[in-house]
Chain A
Amino acid sequence: MDHPDKPWTAFYRAGARTEISEPAYRNLADMIRSVAETHGRNPAFTCCLPNGMNGTLSFAQVDEMSDALAVYLREIAGLRAGDRVAVQMPNCLSFPVAAFGVLKAGCVLVNVNPLYTAEEMARQFADARPHALIIVDMFADKVPAATAGHPIPNVIVTRVAEFLPAMPRGIVGLVQKYWDRTVKPIEIAHIRLPDALAAGRAHAQEARIEVDAYHQGVAPDDVAVLQYTGGTTGVSKGAMLSHANLLVNMEQVMELLVGDLQKGREVALTALPMYHIFAFNVNLLGFWWLGARNVLIPNPKPLTNLKRAFENYKITWMSGVNTLFNGLTNEVWFTDSPPRHLKFSSAGGMALQSSVAETWERITGSPVIQGYGLTETAPVLTFEPLGKARPGSIGVPVPGTEIACLDDAGNPVAQGEAGEIAARGPQVMLGYWQKPEETAKVMRGDWFLTGDIGVIDADGYVRIVDRKKDMVVVSGFNVYPNEVEEVLAAHPGVLEVAVIGVPDMGTGEAVKAYVVKSDPGLTAEDLRAYAKEHLTGYKVPKRVEFRDELPKSNVGKILRKDLRAEAMAQIAAE
């Protein structure tokens, strides 16, 4: 299965390394510290709210604050190295402080989607068993229900406007409390993040703590992050990403870009949530490493929330998903005065439609290039070389990464033929957290099976032609049919249900449910409303179709592929 040579490396920018296998730092905490020492008082993160109110933390401030949090976690909360800490918040200044603090403490970071329902949180907490939770106040009302089975001993609460100057912070607080009513009373014992930092600081001074000692023993192959991805059986799986996985993958991407981007000179826009692996690695870690000023958008919906950020900052680089680029090109204020300093944009999470890429380039005068990868690969496997995009392709493997297409027996297919895309490289995860049997299903030797069916051109460009798993990708988020089916099946009016993904103009793919009802009065709206109570928004079926029966195999298994074929034929007919 070895490639004799790597012809795609010819498409890398001149001077780029073709092999990266070892990280330049021992662990993420070392990288964080070293970058902070280089860029010191330069602005590192700016949180920009829809009305233009903003707050900024410098590299040195984030470094100092995350030190204080690390001390709090280890000395006051009593956590030990390797303990899990869940972080659940939208993009805000607390995010880097929390994430970096956890890593510096030698603990394992568990990213949690803040929009999860209490049930979804409970499932993830039950699996990861975090010892501490750092959560934004807007969603803290879900914690009692989410931790009923597995109490989390330490809860730290922050807010979106944390670390903004007092005036805007106060205004945002009042608006959230009395106007939007997005902040509800918190009914669990907790400490506020600034208080935790103050306690950590005081303790560090008193006891003369050396924070670096917490992570000196953390090796490159130790787990840094548990990144959850929906389970095929409705059970969440935590991909164990090591320090080396994340550090190397960040470098693999930056290696291809850094010639066009200058360390310490860039202003990056982060509109995608950093709890998602794509923004976590490229935006949080990558922009930090680059010494860029990272403009964080807590909530990009509606898209006018981005207007002030584009007006007030000279954005030179942004990353997004197809949905974001497409949406922006449909906003009058954006097309009226597109960002003038943008060098290029990077897309991930879902397929970038070529029409969207073309419109974007026409409007902004700068290209958007896409990458491909999975949670399990930290995440980037392939990237379009700048200026050398090939229509319909997801680009070429990043340095130090091998891609092969395998047949069902696990052997490489002939060049130019379709097979399951498998990847080998330093970014492939250690495995799924406490689920060796699940890990075994996706690993063949040191090759990771992506579940996507692809074709590789002779010079290394990869194209995706189909997907092997039943998974649906809705605007960058994985949805597993089993999980949705389980929820819908629990509705008293539902007899049988099958869920598939169908092509969708807006989200790439959309969730569609085929339902046999037992209650004749059941409507699609009832079912969607019911699903919304139990599932986060992107998992809720966009379409519901009622049937008298569902196609089944002779052993009674519902045949999703038949429904998919039907749906495709339907769409083709339209």
Chain B
Amino acid sequence: MVGAFEQALLALMIFVIMLGMGASLTPRDFWLALKRPYGLLIGVVSQYGIMPFLGFLLITILPLPQAIAVGVLIMACMPGGTTSNIFTYFSKGNLALSVLMTVTSTVTGVILIPIILVIYATALELEIPRENIIITLVLLLVPVAIGMVLRKLNANVGAVTEFMGSALALFFIAFIAISWVPRNWQFLMTTTPATYVAAIGLGLFGIMIGYGFARVLKLHPRNARTVALETGIQNGPLAIAIIAFTFAGDEAQSYMAVPALYSLFIVIVSTLVTLVFRRANTAAEQKLPEGML
């Protein structure tokens, strides 16, 4: 289902995106975020409070086999997806906040994900690979640091890296999705409706709940859109990597079903959401009068 070639491509994609993400950051961004950690706190709560609970609900409500349930839980506990930054960019959200939320959820995930996973897994009587998750998360932060150094050294290299990160990521996503679907047609046809609901619902409901949560807390609509995408979009490739890292053979393949389906459908869901957000943004933009500007 997710072969070695695809796993390599996904790893490369994560690296490129994280590099581009780093290139869009300055130390000042971190300093500012720490000075006013409200937005980030909301992000952490929605990431590790709302999403895992949503996953738990889906597993409890839907008739899912054990292996699929593990997939849903791992998926729900992942940090913010790197692609959320691209969708935030196109939906005119707060890119700096999005990047920081992704980075923060990845950093805090090193501690939080194992704890949350253990709690829910115990409740659901599932087994999860803790150490592998920690190692993978730490590795994720290396390209971010490289990206930040690049920008500091040369603004042009930084801007080009950032641009190429987004452009390549879009290309990778499209390539993987388009090439994956026909080769896995059989799998797609035999997957149960409940699995589809879980894989699609996790992203879609996540975005909706995230938006509502942010609006209730009176966040600026631009930041609320960012939080929404950040909440719903999980790091699918990371889940696949962790599973591939931990399990083997058929076991790995059935665990990967939900992360693979999720990763495919989140692109479609996020694209639709982005179109809605763009329209909302155009309506609310600071109207600069014609004239000297």
With A53-B160, A332-B220, A333-B96 known as contacts, the answer to whether A477 contacts B291 (CB < 8 A) is yes
Residue of chain A at shortest CB distance from B220: A332
Give chain B residues whose Cβ lies under 8 Å from the Cβ of A273.
292
Residue of chain A at shortest CB distance from B157: A167
Instruction: Pick from A23-31, A214-222, A319-327 the stretch touching chain B.
Output: A319-327
With A271-B293, A323-B293, A336-B32 known as contacts, the answer to whether A303 contacts B288 (CB < 8 A) is yes
B156 x A323 contact (CB < 8 A): no
A475 x B292 contact (CB < 8 A): yes
B289 contact from A271, A272, A330, A506, Cβ within 8 A: A506
Nearest CB of chain A from residue B95's CB, rounded to whole Å: 9
B289 x A507 contact (CB < 8 A): yes
A52 x B289 contact (CB < 8 A): no
Give chain A residues whose Cβ lies under 8 Å from the Cβ of B293.
271-272, 300-301, 321, 323-324, 327, 475
CB contact list, A236-251 vs B, under 8 A? none
Give chain B residues whose Cβ lies under 8 Å from the Cβ of A331.
286
Give chain B residues whose Cβ lies under 8 Å from the Cβ of A54.
155-156, 159
Give chain B residues whose Cβ lies under 8 Å from the Cβ of A416.
none
Give chain A residues whose Cβ lies under 8 Å from the Cβ of B151.
52
Q: Does B287 belong to the interface (CB within 8 Å)?
A: yes
A276 x B292 contact (CB < 8 A): yes
Nearest CB of chain B from residue A509's CB, rounded to whole Å: 10
With A302-B286, A311-B28, A506-B287 known as contacts, the answer to whether A477 contacts B292 (CB < 8 A) is yes
Q: Does A410 belong to the interface (CB within 8 Å)?
A: no
Chain B 258-293: CB-based contact to A (< 8 A → 1; otherwise 0): 000000000000000000000000000111111111
Q: Does B122 belong to the interface (CB within 8 Å)?
A: no
A302 contact from B36, B220, B288, Cβ within 8 A: B288
A537 x B286 contact (CB < 8 A): no
Nearest CB of chain A from residue B32's CB, rounded to whole Å: 6
Nearest CB of chain B from residue A286's CB, rounded to whole Å: 17
Nearest CB of chain A from residue B212's CB, rounded to whole Å: 22
Give chain B residues whose Cβ lies under 8 Å from the Cβ of A350.
291-292
Q: Does A349 belong to the interface (CB within 8 Å)?
A: yes
Q: Does A551 belong to the interface (CB within 8 Å)?
A: no
Q: Does B158 belong to the interface (CB within 8 Å)?
A: yes
A164 to B159, CA, bound (A): 13
Q: Does A68 belong to the interface (CB within 8 Å)?
A: no
Q: Does A171 belong to the interface (CB within 8 Å)?
A: yes
A301 to B292, CA, bound (A): 11
Give chain B residues whose Cβ lies under 8 Å from the Cβ of A542.
289
A168 x B156 contact (CB < 8 A): yes
For chain A, which range describes its interface: under 10, 10 to 19, 20 to 34, or 35 or more residues?
A: 35 or more
CB contact list, A24-55 vs B, under 8 A? 49, 51-55
With A165-B156, A168-B160, A312-B155 known as contacts, the answer to whether A476 contacts B292 (CB < 8 A) is yes
CB contact list, A329-374 vs B, under 8 A? 330-333, 336-337, 349-350
Chain A 442-476: CB-based contact to B (< 8 A → 1; otherwise 0): 00000000000000000000000000000000111
B28 x A337 contact (CB < 8 A): yes
A51 to B155, CA, bound (A): 10
Q: Does B163 belong to the interface (CB within 8 Å)?
A: yes
Q: Does A530 belong to the interface (CB within 8 Å)?
A: no
Nearest CB of chain A from residue B219's CB, rounded to whole Å: 11
CB contact list, B125-163 vs A, under 8 A? 151, 155-156, 158-160, 162-163
Q: Does A163 belong to the interface (CB within 8 Å)?
A: no
CB contact list, B82-99 vs A, under 8 A? 96
Q: Does A538 belong to the interface (CB within 8 Å)?
A: yes
With A167-B156, A332-B220 known as contacts, the answer to whether A349 contacts B286 (CB < 8 A) is no
A396 to B215, CA, bound (A): 50
A350 to B151, CA, bound (A): 37
A4 to B285, CA, bound (A): 54
A51 x B162 contact (CB < 8 A): yes
Q: Does A540 belong to the interface (CB within 8 Å)?
A: yes
Give chain A residues whose Cβ lies under 8 Å from the Cβ of B158.
52
Nearest CB of chain A from residue B169's CB, rounded to whole Å: 15
Give chain B residues whose Cβ lies under 8 Å from the Cβ of A476.
291-292
CB contact list, B215-232 vs A, under 8 A? 220
A442 to B160, CA, bound (A): 52
Give chain B residues whose Cβ lies under 8 Å from the Cβ of A272.
292-293
With A51-B162, A333-B96 known as contacts, the answer to whether A540 contacts B32 (CB < 8 A) is no
A474 x B156 contact (CB < 8 A): no
Give chain B residues whose Cβ lies under 8 Å from the Cβ of A504.
289
Q: Does B26 belong to the interface (CB within 8 Å)?
A: yes
Chain B 21-36: CB-based contact to A (< 8 A → 1; otherwise 0): 0000010100010001
Nearest CB of chain A from residue B101's CB, rounded to whole Å: 16
The 7 closest A-B pairs by CB, nearest first: A475-B291, A476-B292, A537-B290, A538-B290, A52-B159, A507-B289, A53-B159
Residues of B whose CB lies within 8 Å of any CB of A are 26, 28, 32, 36, 96, 151, 155-156, 158-160, 162-163, 220, 285-293
Residues of A whose CB lies within 8 Å of any CB of B are 49, 51-55, 164-165, 167-168, 171, 271-273, 276, 300-303, 308, 311-312, 321, 323-324, 327, 330-333, 336-337, 349-350, 474-477, 504, 506-507, 510, 536-538, 540, 542
Using A53-B155, A312-B155 as known contacts, list a sample of 4 further A-B pairs with CB atoms less than 8 Å apart, ordered by residue number in A: A301-B293, A303-B288, A327-B288, A474-B291
- Residue contacts A-B, CB under 8 angstroms, 27 given: A52-B155, A52-B158, A54-B159, A165-B156, A171-B160, A171-B163, A271-B293, A302-B288, A303-B286, A303-B288, A308-B155, A311-B26, A312-B155, A321-B293, A323-B293, A327-B293, A330-B286, A331-B286, A333-B96, A337-B28, A350-B291, A475-B290, A477-B291, A507-B290, A510-B289, A537-B291, A542-B289
